[in-house]
Amino acid sequence: MGAWRVYPAVAVGAFRRYATYRAATAAGVFTNTVFGLILVYTYLALWEARPGLGGYDQAQAVTYVWLGQALFAMLAFQGGGFEVELMERVRTGEIAVDLYRPVDLQLWWLANDVGRAVFQFLGRGVVPFLFGALFFPTALPGDVAVWGAFLVALVLALLVSFAIRYLFALTAFWLLDGQGVAQALMVTGLFCSGMTLPLNAFPGALGEVVRALPWAAQLQVPADVLMGESAPLGAFAFQAAWAVALLAVGRLVQSAATRRVVVQGG
């Protein structure tokens, strides 16, 4: 039981660590709001030319934009979460210290990422979302049950996001230099999650493929749950299936990596 008390403490510590960067948080709020404005007017023009694109009306498209900006840092679509630190610790050999801790490596970093994500959502995501809801027509629900379902979808989205980034980070055990992996994570995260354009708007076979990939569980699925475009139970099943599968694969890859790890310099 004592070991399990570590993980909440790690999450709280990560929350406090990110909370110290107040200037960076304020800059992030400003950046997300500005990018939200750019995307909103782009989407309004696009939906005026193509009404009903992806099954959304203009209000839903606007809601999708501001939700994406609210979740951008929380779910680390572009990277920049725990995975950067983990890959660096592998490169420098500090990962040896982590492996000697009497805790599970995957759960340790999950707890760390949960603390970071909660702060990023509250500190950087809420203000742009409220700004968008106040100044633009949105399709937000009035039913408390829908908001509850959305929160469940958000938790599952975070698990999927962590699992994807954990797998990418583990490649550092073989590659050592994580720069290329970080770039690949950024590109796939922005495109496949629907941050650039809702996945519902992707045509034909491409749309079918991207909506079946795990990145769809991060933004597209929570957005559809929030706006009533997806049945919550089906959405939860999709997200949970990917979360369980990716976390299990991450566990297997972690086991293989730690069996062969060689600490540089000794």
User: How do residues 38-49 score in pLDDT, each as one tens digit?
Assistant: 999 999 999 999
Using N-to-C axis directions, what is the helix angle for 6-19 and 105-120, rounded to 10°?
40
Closest alpha carbon to 71 in 128, 9, 23:
128
Confidence band (pLDDT; 50, 70, 90) for 182?
confident
Mean pLDDT score, 3-18: 89
- Output the pTM of the full model: 0.92
Query: 208-217 long-range contacts, Cβ below 8 Å, gap at least 24?
Result: 214/160, 214/163, 214/164, 214/242, 214/246, 215/164, 215/188, 215/189, 216/192, 217/156, 217/157, 217/160, 217/242, 217/243
pLDDT category at 181 given cuts 50, 70, 90 is: confident
pLDDT averaged over the chain?
Answer: 90
